[in-house]
Amino acid sequence: MGFPISAALLDSMVLAIVEKEDTYGYEITRNLREVADVSESTLYPVLRRLQKNLLLETYDREYMGRNRRYYRVTAKGILALEEYKSEWQHHKEMVDKILDQ
Amino acid sequence: MNRTEFMSALENRLMPLNEEDREDALRYYDELFDEAGPIDEQKILNELDDPDTIARQILSDNGISPDGRPEFMIDEAVRPQQGGQNANQNTAQNNNGAAPSFFENLKNDFNNMSQSTKIVIIVALILVTSPLWGGVLGTAFGVLMGLIGVAIGLVVTFTAAGVGLTVAGFVYLIKIPPIGLIILGVGLIVIALDILLIFPLVKWAFELLVSLVKWAIDTIKNLVNKSKAQNA
């Protein structure tokens, strides 16, 4: 598969996964790797960036005697996700215009 | 390389970061190992890039330039900030009221079109709006024709009355001379008024016609000159 996943696409996929349900880094990576060839170490910069741009926030919850860091989408993140979704829809339609000929 | 070696290598390379950012990154990778468990430790290590690559990405994400050129991150790390600045500039423009209005945008769009597109648009506009100005133009034309009709009617009536009375005057002149004279006189007065009426009317109609023709010629000339100037 030769389609590289852009940073914007990665951001939107991460936001979509976390929006569905608050979750932690390892789980997000597993979800992503089901659909895309994303390396484990690509994800941390994405999560950190989303967090610094206030699209994601974190909280810790105890699990098996240690703390697990959960991610949650902020209100700003939900707005950004909506925008990403409509942009992706538009992008997909444009590409399909050519591919579906 | 095992988990401990990986973590200390990463920590060493993240030293330029502030403590909060470094702790956050280390914690994230530490948690990955926890989640995978000791059995899958090697599997995670294989999936991860080496600590050096990871550290470069994180450093450039935080605006710290590591040695060499980081490929993935520099422009990705810069992009969100740029977006923010642009958004702010736009808002500032709106606040200043300097943002182009809807009609200015429309005008710019129109000016950027090719000559043939412009002509097509103008013709389409004329056709589409024809019911509107067609009615107005038709009404104006009707009023003009009506005025001309009234003028012609007046002239015809006055001429007929004048000539009729004059003829009748001659006839009555033989039968009852004083009444014949009166009728003849009235008839002559009417003919005189008629002539006084015809001259300004003819003159006015002629001037109207001349100015209409002049206006039409000027309009066409202007249009031709404009399109010539734009083509040049």
Which strands, in side-by-side order, build the sheet including A56-63? A23-24, A66-73, A56-63
C-alpha–C-alpha distance, residues B71 and B73, integer Å: 6
Q: Strand runs (DSSP E) across B128-196, as ranges?
A: none
Q: What is the pLDDT of residues B209-224, one digit of tens each?
A: 888 889 888 888 888 8
Q: Which of A42, A45, A69 sits opposite B31 (nearest CB)?
A: A69
Distance from CA of A7 to the nearest CA of B (A): 7
Please indicate if any CB of chain B lies within 8 Å of the CB of A44: yes
Which has the minimum average pLDDT: A66-70, B71-75, B169-173?
Answer: B71-75
Would you give the DSSP letter of residue B66? -
Give the pLDDT band (50/70/90) at residue B1.
confident
Please name the residues in contact with A68: beta carbons below 8 A apart, sequence gap of 6 or more: A24, A60, A61, A62, B31
Per-position DSSP letters for A18-87, written without gaps between them: HHHS-EEHHHHHHHHHHHS---HHHHHHHHHHHHHTTSEEEEEEEETTEEEEEEEE-HHHHHHHHHHHHH
**Overall number of domains in chain A:** 1
Cβ A24 vs Cβ A71: under 8 Å: yes
Q: What is the pLDDT of residues B36-61, one digit of tens each?
A: 888 888 888 888 888 888 898 888 88
Q: Find chain B residues with C-beta within 8 A of A25's C-beta.
A: 28, 31-32, 35
Please indicate if any CB of chain A lies within 8 Å of the CB of B20: no
CB contact under 8 A, B47 and A39: yes
Most confidently predicted of A76-80, B48-52, B96-100, B210-214: A76-80
Q: What is the pLDDT of residues B166-197, one digit of tens each?
A: 898 888 888 888 888 999 899 999 889 888 88
Q: Which of A41, A42, A68 sits opposite B31 (nearest CB)?
A: A68
pTM of the model: 0.49
Q: What is the pLDDT of residues B103-141, one digit of tens each?
A: 777 777 777 777 778 888 888 888 888 888 888 888 888
Average pLDDT over residues B64-71: 56
Cβ A39 vs Cβ A62: under 8 Å: no
User: What CATH number has the domain bearing residue A59?
Assistant: 1.10.10.10
Rg (CA), chain A: 15
The domain containing residue A48 runs over which residues?
Answer: 7-99
**Domain ranges (residues) in chain B:** 3-96, 124-231
CB contact under 8 A, B31 and A53: no
